[in-house]
A and B are shown apart, each in its own frame.
Chain A
């Protein structure tokens, strides 16, 4: 069974903290993605990676960075958390042959 695992389901962080969200997939997928989901806005792409150490900006990269040192792991970093980054964060992965994506359970981040 395919699996995308996000390290935390719920996180509460303070404004200005550096926050790490971790995502691991066990399907040997080339592509990995980070989305944020907000009510009424749907899913918006933050960053994606198509190979180890490769990354590309999505639609809303400001305030975020990513790291992909190993094929199975894709980390999202909030350099200095702000209250407007309170959201649900979803990680996904896909292969270059499959047309769909598999999602993790999501991390609900609250910045206070």
Chain B
């Protein structure tokens, strides 16, 4: 069965600093991995996805993530944080069990950006 672990429920960075949000996955098959962002009282918006093509995936809003099979990781990074990046971020892996197309989510990491 697939699973996702996000390390750190809260991360705080200064504006202009590097953003690093950690995600480790467990999967017995080549995984499809995703990062979503959620702004307060909104739904989830897809940031980027890994589907076994390039291991470095670029997404929207300057975010990118690198798939590292040896470390079973898919960490999200952004070189320079902006105030508008403050939100909750979810890592997800596609479920290969009974539910077609379902995503299994981590518990989320809330990102705060200090001025």
Contact = CB atoms under 8 A, between A and B. Distances in A.
Q: How large is the interface on A (under 10, 10 to 19, 20 to 34, 35 or more residues)?
A: 20 to 34
Main secondary structure of the interface of B (DSSP, over half): loop
Interface of A is mostly: strand
Contacts of A102: 46
A103 B43 contact: yes
B82 interface: no
Given A99-B51, A100-B34, A56 B98 contact: yes
Interface residues of B, number: 24
Pick from B32, B42, B51, B102 the residue with the most CB of A within 10 Å.
B102
A48 B94 CA distance: 14
A104 B107 contact: no
B84 to A, nearest CB: 18
Contacts of B100: 31, 48, 50, 96
Given A42-B90, A99-B32, A104 B43 contact: yes
A105 B43 contact: yes
B61 interface: no
Interface of B: 9, 32, 34, 36, 41-46, 49, 51, 90, 94, 98-103, 105-108
Interface of A: 4, 9, 31, 33, 40-43, 45, 48, 50, 56, 58, 90, 92, 94-96, 99-106, 108
Given A41-B107, A99-B32, A100-B46, 20 more contacts: A40-B9, A42-B90, A42-B105, A42-B108, A48-B99, A48-B100, A50-B100, A58-B99, A58-B102, A90-B43, A94-B101, A95-B101, A96-B100, A96-B101, A99-B51, A99-B94, A100-B49, A105-B42, A105-B43, A108-B41
